[in-house]
């Protein structure tokens, strides 16, 4: 149900994760004065777009996160399941941050960078974690409201 605020939070998170799939996460100036671009799909040379390292685990993790966001948005009638999927997504996003850090540190060890800069896509997982937590909190509030109304109905009968 799109009119609920938690659905909006989940949709914005979904858009950010999809953007992260295609946006550069970091730019690295290697010791040989080559500019390298780290995306979630791999490490590329900026000049010719040649792939140096392929990051398949990151692609798989982002795909699972995207799938879970879609399932979470579509299960708006099952609030408990939706809340559990949100918590799972938060854990997977934390894993994505750790995996991206692992690949960046691996790249730094291999290329000995002169300079690097993180791009805007580097903070997308953190924004998604916050938005997903806000969605989780609102889903829990909805569930509490429904339970309290059910209690009132039972006492009135």
Sequential pLDDT tens for the chain (157 residues) = 566 899 999 999 999 999 999 999 999 988 778 889 999 999 998 888 888 889 999 999 999 999 999 999 999 888 899 999 999 999 999 999 999 999 999 988 888 788 888 999 999 999 999 999 999 999 999 888 888 887 888 887 6
The tally of CA atoms less than 13 A away on the side-chain side of residue 105 is 6
pLDDT given for residue 116 in this prediction: 87
Residue 53 and residue 104: Cα distance in Å, rounded?
11
Provide the whole-model pTM.
0.89
Contact between 46 and 111 under an 8 Å Cβ cutoff? The reply is no
pLDDT given for residue 1 in this prediction: 53
CATH code of the domain occupying 5-156: 1.20.140.150
Phi, psi (5° rounding) for residue 126?
-70, -40
Cα angle 113-116-119, degrees, rounded to a multiple of 5:
150
Contacts of 148 by beta carbon, 8 Å cutoff, 6+ apart: none
Residue 155 and residue 143: Cα distance in Å, rounded?
19
pLDDT given for residue 56 in this prediction: 93
């Amino acid at each position: 149900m799109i009119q609920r605020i938690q659905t909006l939070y989940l949709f914005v998170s979904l858009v950010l994760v999809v953007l992260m799939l295609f946006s550069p996460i970091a730019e690295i100036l290697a010791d040989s004065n080559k500019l390298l671009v780290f995306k979630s799909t791999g490490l590329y040379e900026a000049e010719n777009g040649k792939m140096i390292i392929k990051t398949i685990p990151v692609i798989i993790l982002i795909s699972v996160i995207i799938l879970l966001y879609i399932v979470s948005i579509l299960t708006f009638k099952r609030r408990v399941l939706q809340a559990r999927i949100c918590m799972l997504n938060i854990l997977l996003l934390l894993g994505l941050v750790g995996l991206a850090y692992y690949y960046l540190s691996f790249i730094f060890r291999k290329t000995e960078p002169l300079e690097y800069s993180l791009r805007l896509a580097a903070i997308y997982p953190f924004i998604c974690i916050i938005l997903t937590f806000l969605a989780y909190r609102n889903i829990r509030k909805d569930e509490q409201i429904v339970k309290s109304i059910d209690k009132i109905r039972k006492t009135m009968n």
